[in-house]
Amino acid sequence: MRIKIHISTQMLELFDDTGKILRRYAVSTAANGVGEISGSYCTPRGKHIIRAKIGAGQPENAVLRGRRPTGEIYTPELGAQFPERDWILTRILWLSGCEAGFNRLGKNDTMRRYIYIHGSPDSVQLGKTGSHGCIRMRNADVIELFDLVPAGTAVEIFE
């Protein structure tokens, strides 16, 4: 299996080993566009792998902070109570760059930048940019993707 994330169309595609598209999901990538430098709040391009899968068994809308469940379940009321939070919900697929000097190592390291594919509140508009660098998905979609792909799955992000 492999994943392709298209910045221009804000779509994530899951392919099987023969190249057949299995799933297609709307996503939201960085409001700041693409870029690899730490602190840029951009979505990194290039070849990656899913280094870790976090949140297995958590309920839909489970809040994750620091890659750990907080015990909270996201609601619009909770969102209104903490409007400054960048909500990471339900599941995390933590990405690691594969291209040394581009998206791996030093100030360009995708994993050290904590770039994830993750769930988001239903109020988040997908199909357009808006994240702080991560790839946001609907919670039901990220659960499905999480269950379909193993750690080590190739992920390519391109414009």
pLDDT digits (tens, 9 = 90+) for 129-152: 999 999 999 999 999 999 999 999
Residue 155 pLDDT grade (very low, low, confident, very high; cuts 50, 70, 90): very high
Backbone angles phi, psi at 2, to 5 degrees: -155, 160
Instruction: Give the per-residue pLDDT at 12.
Output: 98
140: enclosing H helix or E strand: helix 139-148
Backbone angles phi, psi at 32, to 5 degrees: -85, 5
Instruction: Give the per-residue pLDDT at 60.
Output: 97
pLDDT digits (tens, 9 = 90+) for 103-131: 999 999 999 999 999 999 999 999 999 99
Instruction: Give the per-residue pLDDT at 119.
Output: 98
Calculate Rg over the CA atoms of the chain.
15
Question: What average pLDDT does the structure give for the chain?
Answer: 97
Instruction: Give the per-residue pLDDT at 1.
Output: 96
Residue 43 DSSP code: B
CATH architecture of 2-158: Beta Barrel (2.40)
Instruction: Indicate the pTM of the whole model.
Output: 0.96
Nearest to 123 by CA among 84, 157, 74, 159: 74
Average pLDDT over residues 13-33: 97
